[in-house]
Amino acid sequence: MSIDKQEIEQLINKQIATVERKIKSLKELTQAIAPDDAIGRVSRMDAINNKSVNEAALRQSETKLQKLHEALERINDDDFGVCVQCHGPIQPGRIVLMPESRKCMKCAK
């Protein structure tokens, strides 16, 4: 099975839009937690913990977005879909699921 670069490009663009929406939502969730007398100590600790989790998710999403943009830039390169480690083909299913991946499943382990 060969890869259709036009389909992969559409898929990448859809993933970019999804990740951008997620980043926007996460940025709202990671706003500073203002000291508020109405919030209890435990609730405030929960809010701070949730903020930390959301900040980690935000960093991860921003990294994925960057990699998706990089994949989009190199989609027409001759080596797109070729593993950077073993130089063999990256499995089409992996490209569909993770178009930003630069390694085949074997080398990614």
* pLDDT tens digit sequence for 52-106: 899 999 999 999 999 999 999 999 998 899 999 999 999 988 988 898 899 999 9
Is residue 44 very low, low, confident or very high in pLDDT (cuts 50, 70, 90)?
Answer: confident
pTM of the model as a whole: 0.78
Please report the domains of the chain, with CATH numbers, ordered by start residue. 5-104 (1.20.120.910)
Cα distance between residue 79 and residue 81, in whole Å = 6
Which alpha helices (DSSP H) does the chain contain, by range? 5-29, 41-73, 92-97, 105-108
Alpha carbon distance 83, 25 (integer Å): 33
CA distance linking residue 2 with residue 50, whole number of Å: 43
Contact 92, 1 (CB under 8 A): yes
Q: Tell me the per-residue pLDDT of 18-31, one tens digit each, with 9 for 90 and over.
A: 999 999 999 998 88
